[in-house]
Chain A
Amino acid sequence: NAGVTQTPKFQVLKTGQSMTLQCAQDMNHNSMYWYRQDPGMGLRLIYYSASEGTTDKGEVPNGYNVSRLNKREFSLRLESAAPSQTSVYFCASSEVAEDQPQHFGDGTRLSIL
């Protein structure tokens, strides 16, 4: 029962480096989401994809780009990492309907020096 799989689990970057966080789900969900979680801030939505081929900005999209590669995969890219992007990143997926909860991957812990 894989559910939502995120890679990598941990990463340390230097300021200015780029990287892509990968997310894949095997639940045939249409919607996928990227969040970041910082101490005392709760989960904040970065980008989401309601269906394959569509992406929309969330609450904190600056400094990030996303790609919905296919129904299963939704990647998050940091083009030029900044220390303010040090965080725990969670990917989630859900069906597109009311009362459908989101299912989360186990997170990527990203530190930017």
Chain B
Amino acid sequence: RKEVEQDPGPFNVPEGATVAFNCTYSNSASQSFFWYRQDCRKEPKLLMSVYSSGNEDGRFTAQLNRASQYISLLIRDSKLSDSATYLCVVGTYKYIFGTGTRLKVLA
């Protein structure tokens, strides 16, 4: 089993749709969780940290389920500009990156 697993997609959704991604991790001792966004041929950029109680940043909501060892990212009211690859990152001091889930928002 990979340490961090993501569905590679692509997820093709119309503008305005709600879309959710999950990411599972194998190390139950992991303490830190993040979602990054990566545009084609660009560097990963931090989208949001994921906290135990769940957290929201505008149209984006992240949640952590320690019992089932997964984190999720929900995007509401999708925009064309949300098209990118979303990377799940898990670890404690040293981080493991998932291979990413590709999202395409269609006009």
A residues engaging B (CB < 8 A)?
31, 35, 40-45, 48, 50, 58, 88, 90, 96, 98-107
Contact = CB atoms under 8 A, between A and B. Distances in A.
B22 interface: no
A110 to B, nearest CB: 13
Which label, helix, strand, loop or mixed, suits the secondary structure of the A interface?
Answer: loop
B44 interface: yes
Contacts of B95: 102
Interface residue tally of chain B, by bracket? 20 to 34
29 contacts: A31-B93, A40-B8, A40-B99, A41-B99, A42-B87, A42-B97, A42-B98, A42-B99, A42-B100, A43-B44, A43-B97, A44-B97, A48-B94, A88-B41, A90-B43, A90-B44, A98-B31, A98-B93, A99-B49, A101-B36, A101-B46, A101-B89, A102-B89, A103-B46, A104-B43, A104-B44, A104-B45, A105-B43, A106-B43
A107 B43 contact: yes
A101 B49 contact: yes
B1 interface: no
Which label, helix, strand, loop or mixed, suits the secondary structure of the B interface?
Answer: strand
A106 B42 contact: yes
Interface string B40-82: 0111111001000000000000000000000000000000000
A33 to B, nearest CB: 9
A43 B94 CA distance: 13
B46 A96 contact: no
B43 A43 contact: no
